[in-house]
């Protein structure tokens, strides 16, 4: 099969066909294939096709193997050139962005969300050459053989695996080994442009498809990046504060902005034994009931019921009609509870606090 390639090897060095056109006498040893090692010829005189290499004879050669070999050779070549010239070769890591505007609030360092509800990410660039002065191909490290190994010359355990994924992803054992790994998808030579740019723009595995990067990192520290935004999103959002009071076992849910619920809590802090905060943003469609409080009140009631049961199951003392044997479930509608024992309905679940018939479910 007659495949054409833009690169070949000459005396073990990577050569581009374009650079051979005017320097044919500089390569008396000829050329060999990156993939199969067979002799190649440089075709550089055509006007219709770009300069390229082709096998001298009809051989079976794999383009995937060629891409994989080219990626390793090209990366090592450019990385060594950066080390020699004192130039940077950078890795751009994503970091979830968290708000540092309210460090002493209920939500210190909360993740900043986009309008569609996904986590916002910032990036930090790291110059790999400052920390990793050694670069090698196919070096055995324990049970693994990474495509490229970057290592610190003073600490061999301080290292990064660079893996080029042409047809198969790295094994699950390797990805979960704890080693720092950068896995880069390569489908064509165009996907190697990051090498000439000396910049790997990566994503984490849990970022999914919200980034177009073909490089995924494993085992790296991508902790939250603190920023102080111009406007704290917490003041554009609504919160529900669920509290259970110490002496009475009375439960209550207060709704408001973060500042409002914090002020409410500070006034009653000494009386509260259990506290939980629920977050809902008016920007997110899944919390659309904040825009129409009356139209979807059942969602608020469901949140309240779950909170009461969570307290009950945790062993905390609480008295609520919602967990009483005498509550008639099917008549719980829009804030109204019906007591079978007392044969009447109530608006407040805290009727149980002073009720002699209160019988909590187990």
Lowest pLDDT segment from 22-36, 41-55, 116-130, 275-289 = 275-289
Q: Please check whether residues 212 and 245 belong to one and the same domain.
A: no
Where residue 173 falls among pLDDT bands split at 50, 70, 90? Answer: very high
Per-residue pLDDT, 218: 92
Same domain, 206 and 106: yes
Band the pLDDT of 41: cuts 50, 70, 90. Answer: confident
Q: Is residue 291 over pLDDT 60?
A: no
Asked if residue 261 and residue 223 are part of one domain, the reply reads no
Q: How many CA atoms within 13 Å lie on the side-chain side of 306?
A: 9
Is 209 found in the same domain as 97? Answer: yes
Least confident of 121-130, 314-323, 333-342: 333-342
Q: Does any domain span residue 162?
A: yes
Q: Would residue 361 count as lying in a domain? A: no
Q: How many distinct structural domains can be found in the chain?
A: 3
Overall residue count recorded for the chain in this entry: 362
| Boundary (domain end) residue, out of 227, 247, 277 | 227
Q: Are residues 109 and 212 in the same domain?
A: yes
Residue 164: domain span: 85-227
Whether residue 245 sits in one domain with residue 213: no
Q: Do residues 214 and 267 both lie within one domain? A: no
Indicate whether 45 and 114 sit together in one domain: no
**67 falls within a domain:** no
Please report whether residue 71 resides in a domain. no
For Cα atoms 212, 213, 217, give the angle at the middle one, nearest 5 degrees: 140
Buried b (16+ CB within 10 A) or exposed e, 54-89: bbeeebebeeeebbbbbbbbbbbebbeebbeeeeeb
Q: Which has the closest alpha carbon to 207: 94, 90, 92?
A: 94
Alpha helices in 226-296 (DSSP H): 258-268
Is residue 54 within 8 A of residue 41, CB to CB? The reply is yes
| Out of 67-81, 89-103, 111-125, 320-334, least confident range | 111-125
Q: How confident is the model at residue 298 (pLDDT cuts 50, 70, 90)?
A: low
pTM: 0.59
Clarify whether residues 103 and 203 are in a common domain. yes
Clarify whether residues 219 and 238 are in a common domain.
no
Question: Is position 37 within any domain?
Answer: yes
**pLDDT above 80 (res 290):** no
Looking only at the bridges linking them, the beta strands covering 39-43 and 31-32 are antiparallel
**Residue 150 pLDDT grade (very low, low, confident, very high; cuts 50, 70, 90):** very high
So what's the pLDDT on residue 40?
86
Residue 360 lies in a domain: no
Q: Looking at 212, 227, 242, which one is the last position of a domain?
A: 227
Q: Are residues 217 and 272 in the same domain?
A: no
Q: Return the pLDDT at 281.
A: 41
One domain for residues 217 and 242: no
Residue 129 has φ and ψ, to the nearest 5°, of: -70, -20
Outline where the chain has alpha helix (H). Answer: 63-85, 128-131, 172-175, 193-197, 258-268, 297-313
Strand ranges of the sheet holding 251-256, from the earlier edge strand across to the other edge:
251-256, 237-245, 272-281
Q: What is the rounded distance in angstroms from the CA atom of residue 27 to the CA atom of residue 251? A: 85
Using pLDDT thresholds of 50, 70 and 90, give the confidence band for residue 15: confident
With 70 as the cut, is the pLDDT of residue 106 above it?
A: no
Mean pLDDT of 271-288: 55
Of 152, 155, 150, the residue nearest 137 (C-alpha): 150
The number of helices, as runs of H, and strands, as runs of E, in the chain is 6, 20
Cα-flanking dihedrals φ and ψ of residue 246, to 5°?
-60, -60
Last residue of a domain, one of 168, 201, 227: 227
């Amino acid at each position: 099969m007659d495949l054409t390639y833009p690169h070949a090897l000459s005396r073990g060095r990577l050569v581009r066909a374009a650079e051979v056109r005017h320097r044919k006498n500089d390569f008396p040893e000829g050329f060999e294939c990156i993939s199969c090692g067979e002799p190649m010829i440089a075709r550089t005189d055509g006007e219709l096709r770009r300069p390229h290499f082709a096998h001298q004879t009809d051989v079976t050669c794999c383009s995937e193997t060629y891409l994989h070999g080219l990626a390793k050779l090209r990366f090592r070549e450019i990385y060594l050139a950066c080390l020699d010239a004192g130039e940077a070769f950078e890795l751009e890591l994503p970091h979830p962005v968290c708000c540092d505007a309210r460090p002493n609030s209920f939500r210190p360092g909360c993740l900043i969300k986009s309008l569609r509800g996904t986590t916002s990410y910032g990036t930090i660039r790291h110059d790999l050459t400052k920390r990793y002065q050694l670069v090698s191909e196919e070096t055995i490290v324990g049970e693994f053989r990474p495509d490229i190994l970057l290592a610190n010359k003073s600490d061999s355990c301080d290292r990064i695996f660079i893996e080029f994924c042409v047809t198969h992803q790295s094994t699950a054992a390797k990805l979960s080994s704890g080693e720092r790994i950068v896995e880069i998808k390569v489908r064509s030579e165009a996907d190697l442009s990051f090498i000439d740019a000396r910049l790997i723009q990566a994503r984490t595995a849990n970022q999914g498809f919200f980034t177009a990067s073909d490089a995924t990192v494993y085992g790296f520290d991508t902790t939250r990046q603190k920023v102080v935004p111009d406007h704290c999103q917490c003041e554009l959002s609504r919160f529900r504060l669920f509290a259970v009071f110490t002496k009475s076992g009375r439960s209550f849910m207060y709704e408001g902005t973060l500042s409002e619920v914090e002020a409410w809590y500070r006034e009653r802090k000494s009386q509260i034994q259990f506290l939980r905060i629920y977050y809902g943003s008016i920007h997110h469609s899944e919390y659309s009931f904040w825009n129409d409080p009356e139209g979807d009140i059942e969602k608020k009631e469901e949140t309240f019921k779950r909170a009461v049961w969570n307290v009950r199951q945790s062993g905390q003392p609480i008295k609520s009609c919602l967990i009483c044997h005498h509550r008639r479930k099917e008549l719980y509608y829009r804030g109204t509870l019906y007591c079978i024992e007392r044969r009447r309905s109530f608006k407040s679940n805290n009727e149980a606090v002073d009720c002699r018939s209160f019988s909590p479910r187990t």
